Structure formats: C-alpha cells, structure tokens
Amino acid sequence: MPQMRKNPLTGKWVILAPERAHRPESHLPHYHPHVEHHIECHFCYGNEQITPPEVLVYGRQEALPNSPGWELRVISNKFPAVDMEKHFSVSCNNSMEVYSYAEGKSEVIIETPHHSKNMAHYSLKQLELVLNSYKERYIAISNEKHIKSVLIFKNQGKSAGASISHSHSQIIGLPILPPLLEQELLLSKNHYKEKNTCIYCDMIALELKEKSRIVFENDKFISFMPYAAKAPFETWILPKFHSDSFEKLTDSQIKNLAEIWKVVLYKLHEGLDNAPYNYFIHTSPAYENTENYYHWHVEIIPRTTTPAGFELGTGIFINISTPEENAKILREIEIK
C-alpha cells in the first residue's frame, strides 16, 4: 500500500511505494534505428492486452480498444507510486510520525509505436500528438477530486530512471503541492508583490537582451540555459507570452512548441552523444489562481554528472561548466 510520510525536520513529504520494486526492467534494443517492434516489449504493437486499459488513444480508426493501429496510447501506470483507492487524510502516531495514504493518479504516455525511436527524432506531427496528450490528460487529472498538482515528466535512459526503454513519459496527480513547485510559486508571488511583474517574464527579457544563454527561439517560445544552471546543459523552454498554465495552450501554440521541443532535444542528443536526461513541466496548481505571477515552463536536465556528498548534504549543486559555454555549443549544432 503506497504511503506518504512527513519529515518532521523539513516538513516535506516522501512517498513509500515498495510495490514499484517489482516493475519490469525492460531495456531491450532501444536506439538501433531499425528496431521498430520487439515482441517482448510491453509497449509495442500486439502487446496491448498486457498493459492496463488505455485511457486515451490517438490514430486508431474504427478498431477495438487496446488493439494495434495506434499512434499514441495513454494507460494507467501498472506500478503506481500513488493511486485513487483511498483518500489523502493526514494521521499521526505522535509528533514525529505523520503519514497518509498516498492518494493520486498515475499514467504512462506511450509516445510512439516504434520501439527504438528516440524523441529527438520524432516528426513534428508525432511531437504535436505527445503535447496534445499531455494537455488532454493534464486537464482530466487536474479535475479529479482531491488533486492539487499535476506533474508531467519523462525519464530518458536507464540512468535517468526509465525502467522500460520504449520511449514513454508519465503524468502524476498529487493531493499536495510538491516542494519545488511550492517554492517557485512563493518566490514568483513575492517578486510580483515587489515589482508588479512576472519573474519569468523578467528572466526572458534578460535572456533576449544578453543572448549568450539562448539555445533556440521562435515567435512564441524561447529556450535557454538558466543563469544559475544546476547541471551541465540544463535547458529550459518557456512561452514568450505570459501564461501560468500549460493547459491553456492553443492548437497553433502547440505547433510552435513542438518545433522548439524538437530542435532542443535534437541538439542535446547530438551534442551530448545521446546522454540520458529528465524533463518535467512545472505549471499552475489545480484550482489555484496564479495568473498574474506564475509562468509555466519546461526544465530539461541531462544526466552527464552524478550528485555526490556535497550536493546531497547541502542541497547546493556544483556545475562543472558554464551555461554560456554550453549554450554556444548547442547553438552551433545544425539541424539535419
């Protein structure tokens, strides 16, 4: 049974989900461009009945549910860290042991039927499907009772936490605000109270002025390496227009986002020799009005280094390179 426990020293929640230790480790051939299908992969064509039933599908025309013929599927996570079987209700044995059932919603986006396709090589059409599925499932999960925040994320590569090599991403709804999002909201609100501007809009204005950390931009979106990047080649994607919620994207904006998404991931793939990475989308909490002061964004963290004792003991990350140098490297990579 998944459980959440509260650290009495930090006030932060952790999730205990021992069932996830039983997840299948399936790192079958992944990057060979000719491996379109693998019979042993749960996410490939023909194995639809092995996975939980799909909650969203794109591409299948007039065929039975949970059958081949799809371009993208979304399923419930078979080994969830959280579930909706019980409600989040804080209890305590004493002042040091505060806990609750780990309520939440956990889903997997199987982004492509192609077993070995890397997201850096998706077509723009496929990326649009992925982003549309993110938006559609974000809206559905955020409307679930008790859900306060929704995180969309991707673990690319075994050392980045992926247990199955077939390209996929995940979406999890929680009954709490994660500490990182809570901190961003607080700092954004304080900045707005002090300056009456969005801190992310101010950040974008600075990057457009200095230009040294920009990786790529188009009419609607910008990608840059943050001034205080915590890891080599950490890269963000933000809308140039002010928007607090990913779910508010229009169809035309999704097309623009797909373009910059493809360019950035391709440059990282080529520049870092297909290094593992994680990305996540930070967006406004469900049912909370952050329109004036918050700005949704994507953070991509390549796994080129490993946090060690200093980072774990202090929470201060050591970056062995500068974002200005790294951004220049990626800018110079041509898109083919």
Catalytic residue IDs: 168
CA dist list (Å): 243 to 238, 246, 283, 298, 327? 9, 8, 9, 13, 25
What is the spatial distance between Cα 63 and Cα 52, in angstroms, rounded to a whole number? 18
Strand order in the sheet with 105-110: 54-58, 72-76, 105-110, 168-174, 149-156, 277-282, 297-302, 235-239, 221-224, 214-217
In contact, 102 and 3? CB cutoff 8 Å: yes
Supply 18's token pair. 């021992």
What is the spatial distance between Cα 175 and Cα 187, in angstroms, rounded to a whole number? 21
CA-wise closest residue to 98 among 5, 179, 10: 5
Supply 255's token pair. 């097309």
What is the spatial distance between Cα 264 and Cα 262, in angstroms, rounded to a whole number? 6
What is the spatial distance between Cα 145 and Cα 141, in angstroms, rounded to a whole number? 9
CA dist list (Å): 178 to 28, 235, 298? 33, 21, 16
Alpha carbons within 13 A on the beta-carbon side of 52: 14
CA dist list (Å): 311 to 180, 232, 317, 318, 320? 16, 14, 5, 7, 13
Straight-line distance from the first to the last Cα atom of the chain, in angstroms, rounded to the nearest whole number:
48
In the numeric block, the tokens 């247990």 are attached to 163
CA-wise closest residue to 197 among 294, 274, 109: 294
- Alpha-carbon torsion angle 313, 317, 320, 323, nearest 10: 180
